[in-house]
């Protein structure tokens, strides 16, 4: 029963921390996001072009 008294404050504080983290969380700038998408697409194209059918 004592574990309930120890666990409830941890859950409450954790919930408050998650709430404020999501509320004030930073988002990457759109230019950075677009560059990342372009790099991922480029890497995928390069992988498809250089893939010789064998597993490495």
Give 20-53 pLDDT, tens digit per residue: 888 777 666 666 777 888 888 888 877 766 666 5
Question: Which tokens belong to 36?
Answer: 């990342």
Q: Is residue 55 part of a domain?
A: no
Q: Which helix (H) or strand (E) holds 40?
A: helix 30-50
Mean pLDDT for 4-9 is 92
Q: Is residue 6 part of a domain?
A: no
pLDDT at residue 56 tops 80: no
Q: Is residue 28 part of a domain?
A: yes
End-to-end C-alpha distance for the chain, whole angstroms: 55
Q: Is residue 35 part of a domain?
A: yes
Q: Is residue 38 part of a domain?
A: yes
pLDDT at residue 6 tops 80: yes
Domain that holds residue 45: 11-49
Q: Is residue 54 part of a domain?
A: no
pLDDT at residue 8 tops 80: yes
How many folded domains does the chain comprise? 1
Q: Is residue 19 part of a domain?
A: yes
Confidence of residue 54 (pLDDT cuts 50, 70, 90): low
Higher pLDDT, 56 or 39: 39
């Amino acid at each position: 029963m004592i574990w309930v008294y120890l666990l409830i404050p941890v859950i409450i504080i954790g919930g408050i921390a998650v709430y404020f983290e999501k509320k004030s969380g930073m988002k990457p700038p759109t230019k950075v996001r677009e560059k990342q998408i372009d790099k991922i697409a480029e890497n995928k194209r390069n992988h498809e072009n250089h893939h010789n059918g064998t597993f490495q």
